[in-house]
Amino acid sequence: MDADLIVQILFAAIKTGTPLLFIALGEVICEKSGILNLGQEGMMLMGAVVGFLAAYSTGNAGFGVLGAIAMGSVMSLIFAVLVLQLGANQVATGLALTIFGTGLSAFIGSGVVGQTIQGFQPIAIPYLSDIPYLGRILFNHDIIVYLSFVLTGVIAYVANKTRIGLVLKAVGENPHAANAIGIKVLRVRYLAIMFGGGMAGLAGAYMSLVYTPMWVENMTAGRGWIALALVVFASWRIGNIMLGAYLFGFASIMHLVLQGIGWSISPNLLAMLPYVATVVVMVIISADQFKEKLLAPRSLGKPFDPRQMA
């Protein structure tokens, strides 16, 4: 295996990991506020189809991205109302969101299956892209990938260094205590959920506008679920999420690597790799129950109703 191939593989790992990075960043903020949203897959698919439709009809991929983000937020708002306002079970509501999004996206996208559009083109960043090896791996991407770099930094800063992050952590650990000291728990959670939705929409747009610039039913192929595992893998830390996303991206393009070494395995078996990798990773990280309990937001998945404070 030569250096050129390694550079190509690492470049592809980043590209493949980017949608995972977006959803996982959204989900980690949502989970830090104590809400488990299993609807990632549905929101992402809706983002993908709406993003594609918007770009297809306007001819502008930028509108596609905005449309996808808006769509993801709207989808998550349904979830938020059910879970926060009506006290519905988070697991069931998240599943419903995924089933709904899968069906609706296939429904509204049925007219444009197989159409192609002009997606985002790679932009080589001057000077930086000339760094040997590293330049080609990191600084020869499209604008959305650069956006993911920036967003990761911003989110890490906000979550760890600002009062917003402190409030988020407090709400996720103990919503009753947060309510008692006057933090608007539901408002924080609404915003966190909708942020997660927007990010899932953005991830979807990346799939249908950049990664494979077209719309196919179910094109996200379980990435929404893998991202949920990624959050646990990263122990709810932003930096780890970025690393994890690229590792998963790497697992998804493993077949390239194996072909590079000269192995020949059925592509259908290789297609299982990301899912098998997810299971393996989850087994390894969850085995230490003590640690997971320590790191997970304490109120994750538990309902909170401010009216029931007797």
Per CB under 8 A, residues contacting other proteins are 38, 42, 78, 82, 86-89, 91-93, 95-107, 110, 163, 166-167, 169-170, 173-174, 176-183, 217, 221-222, 225, 228-229, 232, 266, 268-269, 271-272, 275-276, 278-279, 282-283, 286-287, 289-290, 292-294, 298, 307-310
221: left (phi over 0), alpha (psi -120 to 50) or beta: left
Euclidean distance between CA atoms 156 and 85, whole angstroms: 29
Q: Which is nearer to other proteins, 149 or 217 (CB)?
A: 217
To other proteins, the closest distance from the beta carbon of 211 in angstroms equals 18
Residues 6+ apart with CB under 8 A from 269: none
Taking the complex as a whole, how short is the minimal distance between the CB of residue 143 and other proteins, in angstroms? 31
Q: What is the 3-state secondary structure (H, E, C) of the chain?
A: CCHHHHHHHHHHHHHHHHHHHHHHHHHHHHHHCCCCCCCHHHHHHHHHHHHHHHHHHHCCHHHHHHHHHHHHHHHHHHHHHHHHHCCCCHHHHHHHHHHHHHHHHHHHHCCCCCCECCCCCCCCCCCHHHCCCHHHHHCCCCHHHHHHHHHHHHHHHHHHHCHHHHHHHHHHHCHHHHHHCCCCHHHHHHHHHHHHHHHHHHHHHHHHHHHCCECCCCCCCCHHHHHHHHHHHCCCCHHHHHHHHHHHHHHHCHHHHHHHHCCCCCHHHHCCHHHHHHHHHHHHHHCCHHHHHHHCCCCCCCCCCHHHCC
Compare residues 1 and 279 and give the one whose CB is closer to other proteins. 279
Give 1 or 91: the residue with its C-beta nearer to other proteins: 91
Which is closer to other proteins, CB of 128 or CB of 166?
166
What is the nearest approach in angstroms of other proteins to the Cβ of residue 140? 31
Q: Which lies closer to other proteins via its Cβ, residue 141 or residue 189?
A: 189
Q: How far apart are CB 19 and other proteins at their closest, in Å? A: 16
Nearer to other proteins, 113 or 128 (CB): 113
Nearer Cβ to other proteins, position 136 or 255? 255
Nearest distance, CB of residue 234 and other proteins, angstroms: 14
Give the nearer residue to other proteins in terms of CB position, either 121 or 308: 308
Rounded to the nearest whole angstrom, what is the least distance from the CB of residue 190 to other proteins in the complex? 17
Q: How far is the CB of 98 from other proteins (least distance, A)?
A: 8
Q: Which residue has the tokens 């506008």?
A: 209
Closest of 302, 57, 137, 17 to residue 49, by C-alpha:
57
Which two three-digit tokens encode residue 213?
């610039």
Q: In whole angstroms, how close is the CB of 239 to other proteins at the nearest point?
A: 18
